[in-house]
């Protein structure tokens, strides 16, 4: 019971910080993560048996999140969204590993599929803080417009 409570607390703190002070990337990243976490709850209930191979509903939520993180990282001039996408790619690899090894240990699969959410949240808060310390604003990163 304590681990879910700690996760939800970390989610609220990190995503709240990013949404309030993170600029466009922070708000978008916070929205992606929060939506994915909320969708993961019913997805886990659809297939509660993590020992039956890949948990397809959770995989689909993670796949949608991976696409969103990838698009955000590719359109950002900051580095921290790329780190978040990279950590989430490890989660995706864990899901795909169950296809290669269907007898994957259930606790290992569940642990690895959920572990990387914590570094993702910490990188979001850390990246937003680094941007704030550097005084970076969204409009400062936009390319200069040519006079027509």
Convert the pLDDT of each residue in 2-49 to its tens digit.
888 999 999 999 999 999 998 888 999 999 999 999 999 999 888 766
128 pLDDT more than 80: yes
Instruction: Summarize the confidence of residues 76-100 as an average pLDDT.
Output: 90
Tokens 């708000």 belong to 27
CA distances to 54, 91, 103 from 117, rounded to whole Å, are 18, 8, 24
Tell me the pLDDT of the chain averaged across its residues.
86
Question: What CA–CA distance (Å, rounded) separates 122 from 111?
Answer: 18
Give the least confident one: 55-59, 61-65, 123-127.
55-59
Whether the predicted pLDDT of 144 surpasses 60:
no
């Amino acid at each position: 019971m304590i681990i879910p409570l700690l996760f939800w607390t970390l989610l609220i703190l990190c995503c709240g910080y990013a949404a309030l002070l993170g600029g466009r990337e922070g708000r978008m990243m916070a929205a992606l993560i929060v939506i994915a976490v909320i969708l993961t709850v019913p997805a886990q209930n659809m297939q509660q048996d993590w020992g039956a191979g890949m948990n397809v509903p959770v995989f689909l939520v993670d796949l949608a999140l991976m696409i969103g993180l990838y698009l955000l990282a590719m359109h950002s001039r900051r580095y921290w969204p790329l780190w978040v996408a990279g950590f989430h790619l490890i989660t995706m690899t864990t899901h795909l590993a169950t296809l290669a090894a269907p007898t994957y240990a259930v606790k290992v699969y569940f642990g690895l599929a959920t572990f990387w959410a914590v570094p993702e949240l910490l990188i979001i808060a850390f990246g937003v803080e680094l941007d704030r310390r550097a005084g970076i604003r969204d409009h400062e990163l936009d390319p200069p417009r040519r006079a027509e």
